[in-house]
Structure 1
Amino acid sequence: MAKIVFGMNVSLDGYVDHDKFAPDAALFRHWIEHVHGLTGSLYGRHMYEIMRYWDEDRPEWTPDLRDFAAAWRRQPKWVVSRSLKSVGPNATLVGDDTEAAVRRLKDELPGEISVSGPGLAGSLTELVDEYRLYVHPVVLGRGKPFFAAPRPRLRLVASDLIGGDVIRLTYVPGGCVQFIRDELACPGPCGGRFRLWNPADEPTTLPQSAHRASAGRKRHKK
């Protein structure tokens, strides 16, 4: 049975944008090895059209770029779209009943199948086995979030530094953490809820206890 994985480059404030993240050499080699190891990839129309860039050789490419392109071309691809009438080499068009089609792939194939794009991953929440956030030290302020609703409950299972400044956070479904809008919530006995930092937020009003603590510190300094 295949494992369905969803991984993308993401900003500190949770947004994805393929134009905003330039991987260093180590991270790009990681992506090459990732693609080499995949059983195949699932795409929505938009992400597939972006990735068609790799279908045609370009004279300015470095050896690493050529290696990535070769790996991408070799792997089977399934494209979920009702508007596309045809797809490129080594690709299969998936029209209606996407969930049933993905379940069949998961049941019949080994290894890992990658889901590309937040929209498609969000529609397959019940089938995604692992989420991989490649967090870059960049703040975008707006854009398309990594997690499209519904947001699953997740459990952190690994964190790795890749290259000079990218941290990969690996989550699996289940556990104590649930993404609810811009908060982390614990559905367990603790009932805790923690607000995610967002630079676009307006300054929040501190609770009275915090004001009293702050005032106490000021009096102590005097």
Structure 2
Amino acid sequence: MRTVVYGMMVTIDGFIEGPNHQLDWPIIDDELHEYVNEQQRSKDTYVLGRRLYEMMEAFWPTADQDPSAPPYIVEFARIWRDTPKVVFSKTLDQVGPNARLVRDDVVDEVARLKQQPGKDIDVGGASIAASLMRHDLIDEYHLFIHPVVLGGGTPMFPALSDQRLLRLIDMRTFRSGVVFLRYQPADAEHVR
């Protein structure tokens, strides 16, 4: 069975974007980007909502064509293009290359994908993750906590009807002050 990973850049006060969807706050240097690239190589499917997909698709498909792009940008551009994407949207009419548009229930689709052979599944976006959390479909949480306080915006985690107990299974601190935390549900049978 594949592992479903919800990972995001998040502020110290728990937001993944500012009140007006700003994403100008992450501290992403070469060390952090190279680490993210390494993690992304273990995934073979991205599950995304419309807004995150459109933002990523606006930049990454051609980011490696800039002659001044550093190697870690070139590498992630290739990872982005090569990784199949499942985009959930009721408003988009079409998606780009190597992407599939799905209008149906995200829970059913991810449960089906999880049963297929393959590498890890990367979930991007708070609303999709919220649905999957409510149905216990997330196997790992990857938080890149940035030393930034926004005071408002889109929270990484939704309001839930019951608490979720997690177990820390890995952590790393970067020169920039960003801290990576990797969690599994506490009732997971074993550390993956």
TM-score, normalised to structure 1's length? Answer: 0.74
**What's the CA shift for 1:157?**
2.1
Q: Does 1:158 align with 2:169?
A: yes
8 Å contact kept, 1:152–1:173 = no
Q: Does 1:39 align with 2:44?
A: yes
- Higher RCO structure, 1 or 2 (CA under 8 Å, sep 6+): 2
Aligned mates of 2:112, 2:164 — CA distance in 1: 24
TM-score, normalised to structure 2's length? Answer: 0.85
Q: Does 1:25 align with 2:33?
A: no
Aligned mates of 1:94, 1:75 — CA distance in 2: 16
- Partner residue, 1:147: 157
Q: Does 1:67 align with 2:75?
A: yes
Match of 1:55 among 48, 52, 61: 61
Q: Does 1:14 align with 2:14?
A: yes
Q: Which has the larger radius of gyration?
A: 1
- Partner residue, 1:121: 129
8 Å contact kept, 2:46–2:84 = yes
- Partner residue, 1:5: 5
**What's the CA shift for 1:24?**
1.8
**What's the CA shift for 1:41?**
0.6
Q: Which runs of 4+ in 1 moved over 3 A?
A: none
Match of 1:100 among 99, 108, 118: 108
SS of equivalent to 1:71: helix
Aligned mates of 1:38, 1:155 — CA distance in 2: 22
Gaps spanning 5+ residues in structure 1: where? 176-222
With over 3 angstroms needed to count, the CA separation of the structure-2 counterparts of 1:109 and 1:129, relative to structure 1, is same
